[in-house]
Amino acid sequence: MQTQLLFYRNAVPVSASKHKDTSLRSDGTFSYAAEVNSVPLVAAEFRAAASDSCIVFAGEGDEVIPVVILGFRDKENLYVDDEGRWTGRYVPAFMRRYPFVFGQTEDTENFTLYVDEEFDGLNTNGEGERLFDSRGERTAYLNQVLDFMREYQAQFVRTRAFCKAIRELDLLEPMQAQYTMPDGSPGRLSGFSAINRDKLKALTGETLERMLRNDELELLFIHLQSLNNLQPLLAKAAGGPAPDPEAETPVEDAASEEGA
């Protein structure tokens, strides 16, 4: 199966034969993502996510995708507290779809709905929402899940096309974020990219007009603005007070070119 698993531990295909008596109970917590320091984002989420999250690009070549930074160290998610509650303003769709995920076998282009059988809320006691009714037909709840997953997949395809366009324009540059821990030890997050402002300004009027018409230019501006959210997250990681939210934080203070 080809899919981005991250916090999925035992994803299996959903079927009436295997899950005819299965229900899903949700407690609304995000403990399952407490050790994930970034998750993918689709372009349609940029505006909502940028309210308090930093949007960057991760991966190489055809695998470049937008992600939101959730933490700086391994197994760190600064948006999930000790009780498993989400402390941010926007929950990425990648997380909201859990414990479901679309999977694709190597010999077909069709997608199959999977569910993580290690999810604590999965049960056969009738608690929560049933996946199939007594006749083995999909319930309204499972149909809603499928609709959400199909829309997410369609948005993911559009986002891949957006990333391909900015790669072909050579707009991305490596970035890094530096921070200091409460004990004084330095830390650094690297392995992600951001848009180079000078390269963006150097694009031809024809290219800029095309990007404006298909909303790509707006997405790039939202991404660049979201980099200002990196500084408050750095302060949170270091255990210090967050900067004044009314004060604009220069991007250069939070991220710089790799090796600079």
At residue 215, what is the residue type?
D
> In a 3-state reduction of DSSP, which class is residue 240?
coil
Sign of torsion over alpha carbons 73, 4, 153, 126: negative
Tokens 């402390």 belong to residue:
87
Predicted pLDDT at 109: 72
pLDDT in tens, 95-122: 999 999 998 766 567 889 999 999 999 9
Pairing of strands 186-195, 172-180: antiparallel
Q: Compute the half-sphere exposure of residue 112: CA atoms within 13 Å on the CB side of its CA.
A: 15
Predicted pLDDT at 51: 94
Predicted pLDDT at 235: 84
**Burial of residue 35, with CB atoms counted within 10 A of its CB: 0-12 exposed, 13-18 middle, 19 or more buried:** middle
The rounded distance, in Å, linking the Cα atoms of 227 and 55 is 7
Let me know: does 23 contact 120? Beta carbons within 8 Å.
no
Angle between helices 205-213 and 216-226 (to 10 degrees): 90
Predicted pLDDT at 252: 37
Show pLDDT as tens, one digit a residue, over the chain (260 residues).
233 568 999 999 999 999 999 999 998 899 999 999 999 999 999 999 999 999 999 998 888 999 999 998 888 999 999 999 999 999 999 999 999 999 876 656 788 999 999 999 999 999 999 999 999 999 999 999 999 999 999 999 999 999 999 999 999 999 887 777 767 778 788 889 999 999 999 999 999 999 999 999 999 999 999 999 998 998 888 775 544 434 333 333 333 333 32
Predicted pLDDT at 108: 61
Predicted pLDDT at 2: 32
pLDDT in tens, 58-90: 998 888 999 999 998 888 999 999 999 999 999
